[in-house]
Amino acid sequence: MSFTTKIQSYDGVGKFNVYVAEPDGRPRGAIIVIQEIFGVDTDIRWRCDLLAQSGYLAIAPDLFWRLDPGMELDPDITSTMKRSVDVVIRFNTDKGVHDVQTTINKAREIVGSKAKIGLIGYCLGGRMAAFASARTDIDAAVSYYGVQIERMLNEKDAIRNPLMLHMPEFDEHVGKEIQDQIHAAFDGNEQITIYDYPGQHHGFACALGKRRSEATAKLADERTAQFLAEHIG
């Protein structure tokens, strides 16, 4: 069963929407799914539903609720990009991390304190996966083509739980120099696994739409599924 509900923000400013997909029976754990710059769209909801079919409780918070609540755009329609970019420019990562922690707390209330909580993020959500690994009590996280991860490299020593990064070679938003910086910072941390995808572009693993690169997306998702099974249950 899937539905949308609201949870109270950490600072008491308001409530924000979360999309929830529940498995049949007792959850094997919970997965927080963090959006790209297009909002909690069809792609993100589909991923939550798929995780629920695999036995996880999946929750996708609307991290843009402070700026453009309920925003949902189609990445294949280029005319919508200005709206999404305008929101991203104003997005406060620190507040976003707090909203992620609030979502983690809600997930723990539902599945119980002994269950483990994972996180998967895409693009902006990939950035949040890295920050959450350093700043929250998430048990494991996966970042797909995360943007601006270089902003948190000074926090790398705070990452003590497993983190997996999927990095396409030709990411239009994360150049080779930045990718090299990420490798240099993370390669010595046994908790962090980085997979590079030669010839691939930003958004290669999207579930729907023109950006998807089928074979590579399946490979990345298989690696993610194995990672979650190992570290979340």
Where are the alpha helices (H) located in the chain, listed in sequence order?
42-53, 81-90, 93-111, 124-135, 176-186, 214-231
| Model confidence at 137: pLDDT above 80 | yes
* 125-150 mean pLDDT: 98
| Model confidence at 84: pLDDT above 90 | no
Please, which pLDDT band fits residue 6 given cuts at 50, 70 and 90?
Answer: very high
Please, which pLDDT band fits residue 125 given cuts at 50, 70 and 90?
Answer: very high
Pick from 81-95, 114-128, 166-180: least confident: 81-95
CA distance linking residue 69 with residue 90, whole number of Å = 13
For 155-168, the pLDDT digits (tens) are: 999 999 999 999 99
* Residue labelled with tokens 């020593």: 157
CB-CB contact of 130 with 142 (8 Å): no
Residue 82: per-residue pLDDT: 83
Residue 150: per-residue pLDDT: 98
| Model confidence at 5: pLDDT above 90 | yes
Model confidence, pTM:
0.96
For 45-79, the pLDDT digits (tens) are: 999 999 999 999 999 999 999 999 999 888 778 77
178 or 85, greater pLDDT: 178
Q: Provide CATH code, domain 2-231.
A: 3.40.50.1820
| Model confidence at 81: pLDDT above 80 | no
Closest listed residue to residue 72, CA positions, set 35, 41, 33: 41
Residue 141: per-residue pLDDT: 99
Closest listed residue to residue 126, CA positions, set 139, 145, 154: 145
Catalytic site residues? 171, 202
